[in-house]
Structure formats: C-alpha cells, structure tokens
Amino acid sequence: MNDLMLGEVDEDGAICEAIERVVGTRADFLRKATVGGAALLGVLALPPAGAAATAKDVDILNYALTLEYLQASFYTEAERVRALRGKARQAANVVGAVERAHVQAFRAALGSAAIARPKFNFRGVTENQRKFLRTAVAFEDLAVAAYKGQAPRLDSDALLAVAVSIHSVEARHAAWMRYLFGIVPAAEAFDEPLSRSRVTEIVSSTGFITSAGQTQRKGKPQFTG
Amino acid sequence: MDVESAAIARSSREQVLKGALVAGGAVAAGGAILGGLPGVASSAPSPAQDIRVLNLALLIEYVEAAFYAEARAKDVLSGELRDFVVVVGAHEQQHLAFLKKALGSKARAKPRLVFGKATTDPDAFLKAAVALEDTGVAAYNGQATNLTRGALAVAAKIVSVEGRHAAWIRAIAGKPPAADATDPAMTEAQALAALRSTGFLRS
C-alpha cells in the first residue's frame, strides 16, 4: 500500500494541524455538492471513438476507462458500506458521482470497443474512514499522473480537450481527499506524469483487481491487472 | 468569471466537441448546450503560438505570485489561510520563475498590480484566490490544443497543481472543491476578462 502514497506527507505537521481545523460546513455547500452538483453532471460530450478514433486513442481511452472503473467502484462501494461520516461521506458521494459519469462517458464513446468492468476486491479499505481517505488520495494522485502521462500522446485534439479537463478535475479530487485526510493538498509546484507501465504496476500491486476486463471484440484483455 | 459565464464556456467547448454526435449514445441532458457562442478557438500549434500561450500563463502567474507574496508580507491572514498563502505562494513563485526562464527575452513584462484589501481581509482574499485559481485552470485547459505537444507536457505539470490550489482554497472557503465532471475551459479573451474583473490589473 505504501507504493500508492505518491504525494509527500507534511513532515513537521504544521500544515496538517492547520488543515484539520475544519471550516464549519455551510448548508449551501451541502446542497451544491449533492443536488446542484449532481444536476450538472451530464455525460461528457466525447466524440464517438469507434467511428473516427485511431487505434492508439481507443487504447488510451480504454486505459482511462479502467482507471475510472477502479475509482468509481471504490467510491460506490464506500457509499454502500456506509462507514464514512461527515465531510468524508459528502466528498465520496460527490466524487463518486463524477467518476461514475466519467465511466459512462468513456463507455458511450467507445461503444463496443469499451473494455468491460474488471472485478474488484477492495480488501476492507472502504470500511474504515482513515483507510478510505488514504486510498482515495492515492487513487486520485495516480489518476492525475496517469492522465498527464497520456494526454500528450492522444492523436485527437477533441479527445485531448476532454482529457485535460478530466485531468484537472482529478487534481481537484486529489487535493480534496488530501485536505480531508489531513495532508497538504498540493505538495509540489509541479506534478509529474507516470508512464502507463508504472501506473499498471502500482495498480497491480494493490491486488484490488481480481479479474481483468475484456473487450467484446478481442479475445485478450486490454488491461492485465 | 461568474458561474453563468463559466457554464457557457464549458457548454461551448462541449458543443465544439460534439462535432459528430455519439450515435445512439447515452448522452444525458444534463448541462444545457447554449448555441450561438463561439467554441474555444483552436489554431495550429507552433513554437510562435507556444510563446503566446505561455505568456498568457505567465501573466496569470505574475498576478497569483504577487498576490500571495503581498498577503504573506502583510502577514494579517492567519490559520489555514496563512498556511495556504505560504505553500501556494511558493508554488506560484516557482511557476513564475520557470515560465520567465522558458520564455527568455520573449517573456511579457510584469503587470502593474494593486490588490487593496484582498491581501488582508479574509473574505476578499478567499473570493480573489478562488477566482484566480479557477481562472488559471480554465485558461490552461482552454489552451491545451493550441500548444505543441512538448509545451503541453510541460504546461500539464502546472495546471494540475493549480487545480489542487483551486480545490484547496474552495475547501477552506466552504465551497465545493470539485462539483462537476469536467472543468470549464476559457479562451484567451475570457481569461483576460476574468483577470481584469478582479480589479487588480493596472496595466
């Protein structure tokens, strides 16, 4: 699990302490985060990947989809298990809705080329708030690095525009979860990309994916967990 | 930029991206697509255009860096806000130094800035910081397809940090750090307008 902590933990604790003095919840934040926010979560207007996308772009989209499946399933399970309280619960609900919207959008864009949802076992991390937050931080930091690694590789400008937009949203999520966990939301001035092989290695090491998804068209899985 | 304008910016981009609508796709009705507005202009990437885009980024970093530097120097803000100023201010200084170096003699001049009470009054500070960080994200995102891929890879390292800043200051302010599935993108003109609407720019 230590491999997942990509960010730097605040060592002297001063910032940790400051962040843990939680600002009082305001009613309108609650409303916006759940009702208002949810209303704005339309499916992303992705161009149809099947029709015009290059094989490379389809491959990158499926890689992104796999990471979104991982996140969406994680937040969905956390919501169902009901181990979270207060601001962590609110955050999980909002962020989970967004990740599910990302899954929906990529699946719609990929059509029959979409990789199927892998099977996950989150090994109890959704059942404890601390463990949940630590894992959420790791997932979101990882997603930022993954999108950053792939965006410049995309052939399509339209997909690039969508990728950068999701990339910054994941960065917001990362900061949000770090804030709730009690570590500095932005540890460095520059965030680094991660290669696909490194991301795959990290995800693999968690053991969360118990069976790989497969595309409907090809016999072998796109993503080996 | 106010919420409505940001929604318009986002919808325009979605309209551009919807060139060929997903056939039979489950495109939900959420997020009204407003017609009649230009999409985010995309011109062919080139080294000359990279310079223009990076100079826009430099302007934003000048404003942010100076804003946080003054807040830190005046040392009136306390608690979480002070920690934010210290950490984020240091990042913006690094962004500024990086972009100035990358642009060399092509770097735009430092703008003349006046921050008034925004660097000492918590409410004014929060409002300004949220606006600046959200604008930074939207401006960078709006330029992504205008950059050469090399410049994009570099800009990408900065924009996610601005996204973190934006979420952090929103969390401090009691606002949703990230309510939407996508982040709005701004054109250069929209970003400049958003910067000017802070009232900080005097040149």
Contact B99, B57 (CB under 8 A): yes
Decide if A29 is inside a domain.
no
Cβ contacts of A37 on chain B, cutoff 8 Å:
176, 179-180
Decide if B38 is inside a domain.
no
pLDDT tens per residue, range B90-143: 999 999 999 999 999 999 999 999 999 999 999 999 999 999 999 999 999 999
How confident is the model over A27-43, as a mean pLDDT?
33
Q: Judge whether residue A222 has pLDDT over 60.
A: no
How confident is the model over B179-183, as a mean pLDDT?
89
Q: Best interface-test mutation with A: which of B42, B88, B152, B160 has the largest number of A CBs within 10 A? A: B160
Please report the number of interchain residue pairs, chain A to chain B, with beta-carbon separation below 8 angstroms.
229
Please indicate whether residue A18 or residue A5 has the higher confidence score (pLDDT).
A5
Q: Judge whether residue A31 has pLDDT over 70.
A: no
The SS3 call for residue A63 is helix
User: What contacts B187, CB < 8 A, 6 or more positions away?
Assistant: B9, B38, B40, B41, B142
Write b or e for each residue in B29-57: b if 16 or more Cβ atoms lie within 10 A of its Cβ, otherwise e: eebeeeeeeebbebeebeeebbbbbbbbb
Distance from CA of B94 to the nearest CA of A (A): 7
Cβ contact, residue pair A108, B167, below 8 Å: no
The SS3 call for residue A198 is helix
Decide if A222 is inside a domain.
no
Q: Judge whether residue A220 has pLDDT over 70.
A: no
Q: Of A148-162, A173-187, B3-17, which range is least confident?
A: B3-17
Cβ contact, residue pair A186, B91, below 8 Å: yes
Q: Does B192 touch chain A (CB under 8 A)?
A: no
**Mean pLDDT rounded to a whole number for chain A:** 80
Please indicate whether residue B53 or residue A225 has the higher confidence score (pLDDT).
B53
Residue B74 sits at φ, ψ, to 5 deg, of: -70, -30
**What is the model's pTM?**
0.80
Residue A120 sits at φ, ψ, to 5 deg, of: -120, 150
Residue for token pair 């967004």: A98
Contact B72, B85 (CB under 8 A): yes
Q: Judge whether residue B89 has pLDDT over 80.
A: yes
B51 falls in which pLDDT band (50, 70, 90)? Answer: very high
Cβ contact, residue pair A105, B181, below 8 Å: yes
How confident is the model over B15-33, as a mean pLDDT?
29
pLDDT tens per residue, range A112-143: 999 999 999 999 999 999 999 999 999 999 99
Cβ contact, residue pair B182, A176, below 8 Å: no
CA-wise closest residue to A106 among B95, B101, B181, B145: B181
The CATH number covering residue A188 comes to 1.20.1260.10
Decide if A152 is inside a domain.
yes
The CATH number covering residue B189 comes to 1.20.1260.10
Contact B118, B128 (CB under 8 A): yes
Chain centre to alpha carbon of residue B193? 12
Q: Judge whether residue A146 has pLDDT over 60.
A: yes
Residue of chain B nearest A24, judged by CA positions: B174
Cβ contacts of B140 on chain A, cutoff 8 Å:
164, 168
Decide if B30 is inside a domain.
no
Decide if A36 is inside a domain.
no
In a 10 Å sphere around its CB, with 0-12 CB exposed, 13-18 middle and 19+ buried, how is residue A55 labelled? exposed
End-to-end CA distance of chain A: give it in Å, rounded.
16
- Give me the interface pTM, i.e. the ipTM: 0.82
| CB < 8 Å from A in window 102-161 of B | 137, 140-141, 144-145, 149-150, 152-153, 156-161
Decide if B21 is inside a domain.
no
Domain region containing A83: 2-19+41-211
Contact B91, A189 (CB under 8 A): yes
User: How many angstroms separate the CA atoms of A222 and A63, rounded?
Assistant: 8
pLDDT computed for residue B129 by the predictor: 98
- Report which residue type is found at A145: A
Q: What percent of chain A has pLDDT over 90?
A: 69
Distance from CA of B156 to the nearest CA of A (A): 6
Cβ contact, residue pair B178, A98, below 8 Å: yes
Domain region containing B70: 44-196
pLDDT computed for residue A44 by the predictor: 55
User: How many angstroms separate the CA atoms of A201 and A118, rounded?
Assistant: 16
**Overall number of domains in chain A:** 1
